[in-house]
Structure 1
Amino acid sequence: MKTIYLFRHGKSSWKDAQLSDFDRPLNKRGKQDVPFMGQLLLYMNVKPDLWISSSAKRAWSTAKRVATELKVGKENIIKMDRLYHAEPETLLQVIQGLSVTASSVILFGHNPGLTELATLLCDYEFTDIPTSGVVGIQFSKAANWTDVNFHQGKMIFFESPKNNSSAPE
């Protein structure tokens, strides 16, 4: 059985108009929401074997902050350029190419690709995975990552800061 956690980066800053989209950092709300969601994952006993992040600044920063909450060293997070604004098909190719030894992976990325991927993987109509939102999807019949495919997963949870009353404002 394989499990995927799709985590959309935290809210990013548009303060510096000179920065490229790739280089935008987290804003104040993102810096509050991301650790909260990391604590929620810790409470839910989510312990991914493999960590992969888009190399965009806001996604990488999100991954590092979640890793801190889950007591995982940032050196265990793989940066991947091809996750930056990736289409669902590209994201699926990345997933299908993962190490067989890992039973679970957390992937930090961007919309609209993550929302579209989540919808295609588990046939649940996600309208939007909000910033700092995370979806857990399980593949009970997948022995290897190559077995993971569209329409074969089951959503096990969908959480976001707005879904949790104790989230920071």
Structure 2
Amino acid sequence: MTIAFDIDGALTPLGPRRFPCSALRSQCTFDPETNAVEISALVSNTPAGHTTTVRTDAASQSVPIPAKATGRGSAVNGGEFLMLALATCYCNDVYREAARLGIPIDSVEVEATADFPGVGLAATNIRYRARVSSSAADASVIADLLRQTDAVAEVHNTIRAGADVALVS
């Protein structure tokens, strides 16, 4: 028997799913002294081609993203990538937290959505939905897993905290 559980989360600064990591200190897996990483992304777009690369510390990998049909810029926009970052972060973190807690997971599906009201305006109404299936865990265990994962999802917490973004030369 597979149990599927959905969670809807609104990513607002004081939203109902915002839990400071300190509230779950015994359940947090992040230790700034041992787990800190530097993550970066590089997009290079020229008339000769379009490349995208991501890096975590020294490990880098190419991500195949096509150029726009006009050749100027990426065919996938930044808002789509932001939603992909939220969905990917939560999906990966569900598996990480489930492994830490010994909860078997059969599948995870995450959809992140936001409204972008206009050019140069910040996204609003950022929200996500997760569906997790487990053939061995009951619904209350999965519900707790999803809430705990929401509390420690790094990309979500970055958005919730309203991190500064600086243009550097």
Question: TM over 0.5, yes or no?
Answer: no
Give the TM-score normalised by structure 2. Answer: 0.28
Max Rg structure = 2
